[in-house]
Amino acid sequence: MGYKILSKTELCPNQFEIEVEAPYVVRNAQAGQFIIFRAEENGERVPLTIADVNKETGALTLVFMAVGYSTKKLAELNVGDELVDIVGPLGQPTKIQKYGTVVCLAGGYGAAPCYLIAKALKEAGNKVYMIMGARTKNLIFWQDKMKGACSELFITTDDGSLGEKGFVTQVLDRIISSEKIDYAIAVGPMPMMRAVADMTRDKGIYTEASMNPIMVDGTGMCGACRVTVGDKIKFACVDGPDFNAHEIDFDEVINRTKIYKEQERKRSEECNLLKMAN
């Protein structure tokens, strides 16, 4: 059984939104969970966080950036084409409850999973601040959707081309200074999530980070996505992806990711040399 693509939109340069017919996945999907897809029969297994679901139609929304072989292959598919398979929902859902006043921080592509989380938190009766950040305005998407999912939306860009010039942390600092925050969750690049954790730690604000380390099988068997949280080893695919941000060893995760990226770079160079030789 294939998974038919129902719609496809390029949200911003090289970043796409697709709706896929996946009723069995959607039936049990919750905010914060993810899926693993294969674009073709012999393709690699790639994790993507669930961006949105339509329980009535069984449509699953995914947002991805076409950066590697498999995501570029996915970007080549069009409406009516099918993904070979989708496994999910995987991982533990975000802990949705009535905290009071919460802040969701989305860095870059983190806006996609943050939408469903913010929406669920708002439906649970929370006052939800959403802070979206990106390098430039061309990388900001889903503004209208996000406004409906939160109580108040803030946008920051590194170059000041949209919203406030700067980073999500400066808006967070301003909110913290003006009122009591009961819960915060950060989704995005590791340095951003670590900066949020550093800011909220001494203020006693319980903060979670949605971890996105390298994943292979997504079931806790390979150990590639291991994360040190406090004094324990956790696996992002089965124990997460959300963890207490104040207990995560971000240095370890960032260093391990660099190793994987360097190995991938070397493999790509070797493949290019083989192609040239042939």
| CATH number of the structural domain spanning residue 63 | 2.40.30.10
The pLDDT tens digits of the residues spanning 66-102 come to: 887 888 888 888 999 988 889 989 999 999 999 999 9
Residue 174: give the domain boundaries.
Answer: 101-210
Q: Is residue 128 part of a domain?
A: yes
Q: Give the model's pLDDT for residue 219.
A: 75
DSSP secondary structure letter of residue 84: S
Verify that 14 and 84 share a domain, yes or no: yes
Do residues 43 and 131 share a domain? no
pLDDT tens-digit map of 184-216: 999 988 889 999 999 999 998 999 999 887 777
Task: Evaluate the CA torsion angle 1, 51, 241, 41 in order and state its sign.
Answer: positive
Q: What per-residue confidence (pLDDT) applies to 21?
A: 94
What is the model's pLDDT at position 212? 81
Indicate the residue among 90, 112, 130 that finishes a domain. Answer: 90
Tell whether 55 and 27 lie within a shared domain: yes
**Domain-ending residue, one of 39, 60, 90:** 90
In terms of domains, do 11 and 46 share one?
A: yes
Statement to judge: residues 72 and 159 lie in one domain: no
251, 260 contact by CB (below 8 A): no
151 in a structural domain: yes
State whether 59 and 34 are in the same domain: yes
Residues 119 and 197 in one domain: yes
Question: Is 41 inside a domain boundary?
Answer: yes
Tell whether 59 is covered by a domain. Answer: yes
Number of domains composing the chain: 2
116 lies in some domain = yes
pTM: predicted TM-score of the whole model, two decimal places: 0.87
Q: In angstroms, rounded to a whole number, what is the distance separating the alpha carbons of residues 128 and 118? A: 7
Residue at which a domain ends, from 183, 210, 237: 210
CATH number of the domain where residue 117 is located? 3.40.50.80
Q: Say whether 212 sits in a helix, a strand or coil.
A: coil
Determine, yes or no, domain membership for 175.
yes
User: Do 76 and 163 lie in a common domain?
Assistant: no
User: Does 224 map to a domain?
Assistant: no
- Sign, CA dihedral 133-241-43-262, equals positive
Q: Examine the domain organization and report whether 114 and 195 are in the same domain.
A: yes
Confidence of residue 1 (pLDDT cuts 50, 70, 90): low
Clarify whether residues 108 and 82 are in a common domain. Answer: no
Residue 182 domain flag: yes
Residues 67 and 110 in one domain: no
* Ramachandran angles phi, psi of 109, nearest 5°: -65, -15
Residue partners of 8: CB distance under 8 A and separation at least 6: 16, 17, 18, 19, 77, 78, 79
Give 158-192 pLDDT, tens digit per residue: 999 998 999 999 999 999 999 999 999 999 888 89
| pLDDT on residue 104 | 95
Specify the pLDDT at position 40. Answer: 82
Percent of the chain with pLDDT over 70: 92
Please indicate, yes or no, whether residues 73 and 114 belong to a single structural domain of this protein. Answer: no
Q: Which of 137, 177, 172, 173 lies closest to 158, judged by CA?
A: 137
Does residue 55 register a pLDDT over 60? yes
